[in-house]
Amino acid sequence: MAYKSLLTVLTDTMITDAPLGQLIALAQAQDAHAEALCLGVDRTQTGYYYAGANAMVLQETLTRSHDEAAKILAIANERLGNSGLRWSAEDGVAQIADIGRHVAHRSRFADLVILPRPYGEGRGSEVEAVVEAALFEGHAPVLVVPEDVTPQGQPKTIMVAWNESVESLTAIRQALTFLQAADNVRIAIIDPPTHGPERSDPGGLLSQMLARHGVRCEIDVLSKTMTRVSDVLNRHARDTDADMIVMGAYGHSRFREAILGGATRNMLEQAAVPVFMAH
């Protein structure tokens, strides 16, 4: 099944290029409708504002958020309007504490949500909130796009991170459109458990399932020679010239990943290629 409804959520004029470029490339390849939601973020918490704040202060922050949304919308209109696609774009303002509700509502009706990298220099906390809202409340697969990558309508080599988890299998099923059209899919397994159900044939059942869908795949069993799983996966992605990484998102709680780190957070911080995630 092709992705026919593609959504991107933009909250900052400085990080619109990568997601818009990827949105256009995928929409052209999939003959899909491209949609951009351009949000100005009101970062004040009105209910907890400092004593003595008056209506002028509140109006100033609201006006600034509307101006930011209008600037983002202008960028989206220019890029999408010159793409020759079926597209739509709209702007709005959301408080940072409430942004997840707006993103989740729109994500539920998208086949795939394309977003900028949530971590890194110059990014507000709302970018992470947008990714998590699309995944957890919107129940949509998300493609996170790093900066300075060449947009691709169809990745040729895809690396699948497989750890036998429900999250991984969900991401793989959601990514079948990409996997079926890829030239090569590499199933990466790090230190498979010696007493697990796949101990004698790591990745065998998964490769069998994918082969029945016409996916050309290989299995790579890797040793955890580096401290973090994400480092091993990123190194293998570079070694195999992968164009995309498919992985389950947040196998641990989001709180634990935020405080202690985890494969999802580390991957989103360091991956040099788009990361397809689902939960």
pLDDT band at 256 (very low <50, low <70, confident <90, very high): very low
Out of 51-65, 77-91, 151-165, 259-273, pick the least confident. Answer: 51-65
Residue 155's pLDDT is: 97
Long-range pairs for 46-49 at CB < 8 Å and ≥24 separation? 46/95
Q: How many CA atoms are closer than 13 Å to the CA of 11, on its beta-carbon side?
A: 27
Domain range 5-145, its CATH number among 3.40.50.1820, 3.40.50.620, 3.30.160.340, 2.40.50.140 = 3.40.50.620
Whether the CB-CB separation of 239 and 269 falls below 8 Å is answered with no
Report percent pLDDT > 90 for the chain. Answer: 70
pLDDT in tens, 216-236: 999 999 999 988 888 999 999
- Please give the average per-residue pLDDT across 194-209, as a whole number: 84
Domain ranges of the chain: 5-145, 157-278
Domain 157-278 adopts which CATH fold? Rossmann fold (3.40.50)
pLDDT in tens, 106-147: 999 999 999 999 987 778 889 999 999 999 999 999 999 999
Give the residue carrying structure tokens 């991107």. Answer: 8
Per-residue DSSP letter, 236: H
The residue among 178, 175, 138 whose CA lies nearest residue 37 is 138
- Reported pTM: 0.91
